[in-house]
Amino acid sequence: MCGRYVTISKIQSIEKRFHVQCSDPSLYQISTNVSPGQLAPIITDDKPSELQFFQFGFTPSWAKKQFYVINARSEGDFNKDNDPQYHGAMGIIHKPMFRKSIRSQRCLVVADAFYEGPKKEKLSKPHLVYLQNGKRPFAFAGIWDKWVNEVTGEVIHSFAIITTQANALMQWIGHHRSPVVLPRTYEQAWLSGDLPLSEVSSMLKPFPARKMNAYPVSTEVKNPKHDGLELLKPVGQRIYKEYDYFLYEDYKLEGMGSTTARQRKLSESQPDDDHALPESRTS
């Protein structure tokens, strides 16, 4: 499950990274705690050169009432035990809730990091997860839809983040799922309307754990009303030691809307790509 995440990159950085133009900059809210119901930046398949802002929490077009479905399981009704070694069919293509969107309404969900905790404790024991070597912003694989309130006529554009089986880092944290983080080389194809379903399904895999890192943060993130720098502050050691900046340090140096940024180097050893994670643990 991925129910809280971070968007702190400046619009100009997002536009440059994804080769898009922002449709309405006034809608962008820098947030260290993006929560269900909030507007957040995405890039849709029907407007791949435009940065738009949709509601986090998916409602299919046919629904009689508004939903807030934040995640879509790539395996659908399969892999009910959340086996991290699962290699079977991607049942999302058969789920009534998602089968239209996974075929023709896919999107990139822009993020800088996300929060995850153990399966039982959830955000009572949160970790902030990010990509190593300052690779942000990145994109989750998402789906979107448009829903119209038949009573008020209000139009809601919304999205969900697709999840898959847990990689080694998520297992170490104690969580049973991973959001699908798309490698950069997959992003353009994910937005392509000509992509066969077999290739769509092949992209719904866990991101390599060795390219990610995480550290524990305050339980204040549990409250969706809490937002700001302190949510990113480490309260313990990172899982990997690395030469790189904390997201917290980077955010502190940039500031809200500031244009300056620099790296903070730590006097620790950097792992190579084959560096093993600590022994996995489960909740």
pLDDT digits (tens, 9 = 90+) for 112-133: 999 999 999 999 999 999 999 8
**Tokens found for residue 71:** 């995640």
In the 8-state DSSP scheme, what is residue 181? B
| 275 assigned to some structural domain | no
Instruction: Report pLDDT for 258.
Output: 34
Residue 58 inside a domain? The answer is yes
Q: What DSSP element (H or E) covers 198?
A: helix 197-202
CA–CA dist 184, 138 (Å, integer): 8
User: Domain containing 245: what range?
Assistant: 5-254
130 beta partners: 213
Q: Is residue 270 part of a domain?
A: no
From the list 44, 54, 14, 18, the residue with the least C-alpha distance to 193 is 44
The answer to the question of residue 90 being in a domain is yes
Residues of the chain below pLDDT 50: 256-283
Q: Tell whether 273 is covered by a domain.
A: no
Q: Is residue 262 assigned to a domain?
A: no
CA pseudo-torsion sign 4, 9, 14, 15: positive
If one counts every other C-beta atom within 10 angstroms of the C-beta of residue 254, the result is: 18
Q: For residue 200, how far is the Cα from the chain centroid?
A: 18
Question: Is 281 a member of any domain?
Answer: no
> What's CA 55's distance to the chain center, in Å?
14
Q: Is residue 266 part of a domain?
A: no
**Number of domains, the chain:** 1
| Pairwise CA distance, residues 59 & 156, whole Å | 8
